[in-house]
Amino acid sequence: GENVEQHPSTLSVQEGDSAVIKCTYSDSASNYFPWYKQELGKRPQLIIDIRSNVGEKKDQRIAVTLNKTAKHFSLHITETQPEDSAVYFCAASKSFQKLVFGTGTRLLVSP
């Protein structure tokens, strides 16, 4: 079955810096890659997703890139702000099947 690895487990940046979180997946048939954000004490919420027919997707300060050949995808956050502090989870699945999540990255943005 699918296995998703996520790095780093913790990431500390200064406000205004960029942050990058990387994930690798094992099943070449996976074609849907979402990212969820979980603020402290809250439920996970989808922030962005990408499908395998697209190499990059942007939404304001966040972007996701996908390298199908290498089977890895990354979340990029630019101009980080304190409210970006949270745990971020990547996931992978075949379309409309169950998600397999990574182990999470705790991002801390210091003012």
Partner 1 sequence: DADVTQTPRNRITKTGKRIMLECSQTKGHDRMYWYRQDPGLGLRLIYYSFDVKDINKGEISDGYSVSRQAQAKFSLSLESAIPNQTALYFCATSDPREEETQYFGPGTRLLVL
**Would you tell me which residues interact with partner 1 (CB under 8 A)?**
1, 6, 9, 32, 34, 36, 42-46, 49, 89, 93, 95-96, 98-104
Q: Considering only CA atoms, which of 30, 11, 29, 32 is closest in space to residue 77?
A: 11
| Residue number, 4 or 77, with CB nearest to partner 1 | 4
Task: For partner 1, give the closer residue by CB, 13 or 44.
Answer: 44
Cβ proximity to partner 1, 4 vs 109, nearer residue: 4
SS3 content of the chain, % helix, strand, coil (to 5): 5, 55, 40
Q: How far is the CB of 108 from partner 1 (least distance, A)?
A: 15
CB of 71 vs partner 1, minimal distance in Å: 18
Provide the b/e sequence for 66-86 (b: ≥16 CB within 10 Å): beeeebbbbbbbeebeeebbb
